[in-house]
């Protein structure tokens, strides 16, 4: 029956992923089954921690996050948790030997959200993004290389760059919510001039560079996981393309998105690119 409980745990993380992000869930669906479960479990863990600091305003967030962390380490120590999200995650951590320093760096960034609203220097922004996004990319890379330490070391930088690019695109898309409702300012650039078209394009240029670096690593991923990573890459790059064409003032008034028909096109394009060995996709 333990096997059934573990299966239910992974299914729970899958449900969470699909409920919070159909786009990411679609990308994960292109992975092989074993990798799917692992990535779903990682997403469930980071999503719940993020929810604690971003949405549970009527509760003691610090206490909830501390309990979440304690329950995770209890799960790691005992090899089981009655919390299906933590149970599936601890199974993935054990199976793929995910280093604890990655998990601690992530939790540190989540704790930062409880005490810090404005990131006013480049080092502060970089430190937060490393913990909130780059280490998540490295957790996923652990799954993708499945024990190949040489490949992991070779792809570490591209994986970090991709995680950073995803996070920065999210920050640009959600800048209205972050600044107006959560009262947070993640980009140090905003402390200098505010959010202008010049600042937006400067950030977008930086993200383009990270996407370019990450593509070189994506090409070297194992074939069984490449389609899933590529569709996520294509989705976020398309989102950045839309952001570039959208005035900063508009981004501060509404949340933009990639239309569903474009998502479907990108899904098909990613699949065909990998299966038919087509040339690398364009930035748009």
Q: Calculate the average pLDDT of the chain.
A: 92
Residue 232 CA to residue 18 CA, distance in Å, equals 14
Class of domain 2-275: mainly alpha
- Mind listing the pLDDT tens digit for each residue in 226-265? 999 999 999 999 999 999 999 999 999 989 888 878 877 7
Label residues 184-198 b or e (16+ Cβ within 10 Å = b).
Answer: bbbbbbbeeeebeee
SS3 229: helix
Residue 251 CA to residue 240 CA, distance in Å, equals 12
pLDDT score, position 282: 47
- Mind listing the pLDDT tens digit for each residue in 101-145? 999 999 999 999 999 999 999 999 999 999 999 999 999 999 999
Long-range own/partner contacts, residues 18-24 (CB < 8 A, 24 or more apart): 20/47, 23/232, 23/235, 23/258, 23/263, 24/232
What is the reported pTM? 0.93
> Rounded to the nearest 5 degrees, what angle is found at the Cα of 186, between the Cα atoms of 242 and 200?
35
- Mind listing the pLDDT tens digit for each residue in 165-174? 999 999 999 9
């Amino acid at each position: 029956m333990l096997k059934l409980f573990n299966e239910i745990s992974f299914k729970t993380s899958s449900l969470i992923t699909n409920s919070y992000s159909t786009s990411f869930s679609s990308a994960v669906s292109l992975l092989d089954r074993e990798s799917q479960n692992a990535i779903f479990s990682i997403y469930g863990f980071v999503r719940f921690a993020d929810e604690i600091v971003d949405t549970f305003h009527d509760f003691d967030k610090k206490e909830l996050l501390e309990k979440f962390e304690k329950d995770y380490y209890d799960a790691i120590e005992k090899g089981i948790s009655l919390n299906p999200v933590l149970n599936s995650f601890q199974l993935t951590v054990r199976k793929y030997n995910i280093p604890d320093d990655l998990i601690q760096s992530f939790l540190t960034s989540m704790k930062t959200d409880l005490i810090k609203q404005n990131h006013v220097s480049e080092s502060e922004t970089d430190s937060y993004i490393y913990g909130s996004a780059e280490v998540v990319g490295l957790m996923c890379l652990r799954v993708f290389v499945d024990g190949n330490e040489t490949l992991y070391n070779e792809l570490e930088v591209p994986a970090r760059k991709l995680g950073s690019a995803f996070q920065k695109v999210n920050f640009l898309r959600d800048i209205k919510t972050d600044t107006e409702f959560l009262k947070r300012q993640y980009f140090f650039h905003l402390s200098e001039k505010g959010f202008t078209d010049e600042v937006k394009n400067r950030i977008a240029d930086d993200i383009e560079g990270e996407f370019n670096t990450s593509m070189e690593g994506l090409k070297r991923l194992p074939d069984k996981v490449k389609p899933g990573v590529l569709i996520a890459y294509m989705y976020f790059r398309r989102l950045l393309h839309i952001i570039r064409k959208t005035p900063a003032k508009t981004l501060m008034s509404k949340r933009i998105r990639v239309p569903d028909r474009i998502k479907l096109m990108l899904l098909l394009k990613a699949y065909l690119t990998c299966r038919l060995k087509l040339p690398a996709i364009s930035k748009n």
